[in-house]
Amino acid sequence: MGEKLPIKTVMAIIVDNRKNVAEKVQKLLTGWGCLIKTRLGLHDGVLDNCSDVGLIILELVGNSEQHEELCRKLNLLDGVSAKYMDLSFEENR
């Protein structure tokens, strides 16, 4: 019989117009920092050829109400789109 492993919550955030909105996103994520276990930020380009669109991937802790509220607040920012999902797997042992 399989053992149910813990649920993992992952949030993906697309930030358009990074140069204008990144500071607001950073401030919001800092305020909710105790929920963020892992954070990965990605964007194309280097030096003078830096993309204005970025992707942030978060692994979250906490409860679903907190995840929902963080997502809602991010989506209120112009040029930001955030979604999250819960992942769980069963493992046969």
Residue 92: band (very low, low, confident or very high) from pLDDT cuts 50, 70, 90: low
pLDDT for res 2: 57
| pLDDT (tens digit per residue) in 2-40 | 566 678 999 999 999 888 999 999 999 999 999 999 999
| pLDDT (tens digit per residue) in 51-86 | 889 999 999 999 999 999 999 999 999 999 999 999
- CA 58: distance to chain centroid? 4
Beta-carbon contacts of residue 2 (< 8 Å; ≥ 6 apart): 90, 91, 92, 93
The SS3 assignment for 88 reads: coil
pLDDT surpassing 70 at residue 90: no
Q: Which domains does the chain have, with CATH numbers?
A: 2-92 (3.30.70.1150)
Beta-carbon contacts of residue 21 (< 8 Å; ≥ 6 apart): 15, 77, 78, 79, 80
Task: Please report how the helices 18-31 and 64-75 are oriented relative to each other, as an axis angle in degrees rounded to 10.
Answer: 160
